[in-house]
Amino acid sequence: MSDQPTTHFGYRDVPVAEKQKLVGHVFTSVAENYDLMNDLMSFGIHRLWKRHFVASSGLRRGDRVLDLAGGTGDIAALMRPEVGDEGEIVIGDINNAMLRVGRDRLTDRGFVQGLRYAQLNAEALPFPDRSFDAVTIAFGLRNVTDKQRALEEMHRVLRIGGRALILEFSVVRQDWLKPLYDFHSFQVLPRLGRLFAQDSDSYRYLAESIRKHPNQETLRGMLQQAGFANVTVRNLSAGIVAIHRGYRV
């Protein structure tokens, strides 16, 4: 029996060293259809969640923001007017295909000034301490192998008074909704993935990864353990997603 440490990849246990590669294959596969994927997973409501996420972020003109797992650029596009010409958004993603797709889409929309791109690992951010006013991550934390380490890195690169903002699928709070949500996730979504993107396995993994992600209370505790203060949680759509916010003090 191997004594190599393991972690979860969806419902499978895999060696820790392999998860990053496996996740990379998933997102390379879905990069061109990422918006479609989110539409299928959320019935299109992800666009409203993201708008609310940014609108309630408290970003100000001149802020410097690190958007992790931001390869598609949709969060950056929403934040760009908030930080203004004086601000800067660094879009970071571990997957080059996602970064490339996002950069092309943002450029086509005329978003060029004030944007930078960095291929990086959220567990080892290539930035000095206290570099950013805010760090955001939307629908990406659940794919990080060492989530606690990533949260600690987010805390490290924030300036005093800076905030981390996490938008992620979470645990449904309404009992009547849970069987419908499970049916959509595990029966409908993989079939739609096969029909529209010729890839059912990646969509099945994404549904499984949601169920393996820490629930609202656990993630709150992880943020506090990473050093964040005044941690709050706000459920959206009965807890299908949640926004976690924490401050560096």
Q: Are 177 and 152 in contact (CB under 8 A)?
A: no
Does residue 67 surpass a pLDDT of 70?
Answer: yes
Burial class (CB in 10 A: 0-12, 13-18, 19+), 176: exposed
Instruction: Name all domains of the chain by residue range, CATH numbers in brackets.
Output: 6-174+203-247 (3.40.50.150)
Q: Are 94 and 70 in contact (CB under 8 A)?
A: no
Question: What pTM does this model have?
Answer: 0.89
pLDDT tens per residue across span 210-246? 899 999 999 999 999 999 999 999 999 999 999 999 9
pLDDT tens per residue across span 166-195? 999 999 999 999 999 899 888 888 887 787
pLDDT, averaged across the chain: 91
Does residue 49 surpass a pLDDT of 70?
Answer: yes
Phi and psi at residue 78, in whole multiples of 5°? -75, -35
- Report CA Rg, the chain: 17
Q: For the chain, how far is it from start to end, CA to CA, in angstroms?
A: 45
Packing angle, helices 16-30 and 34-42, rounded to 10: 100
- What pLDDT sits at residue 1? 42
User: Which residues in 106-157 belong to E strands, given as ranges?
Assistant: 115-119, 132-138
pLDDT tens per residue across span 5-37? 888 777 788 788 788 787 777 777 767 777 777
pLDDT tens per residue across span 75-108? 999 999 999 999 999 999 999 988 998 999 999 9
Q: How far apart are CA 57 and CA 73, in angstroms?
A: 17
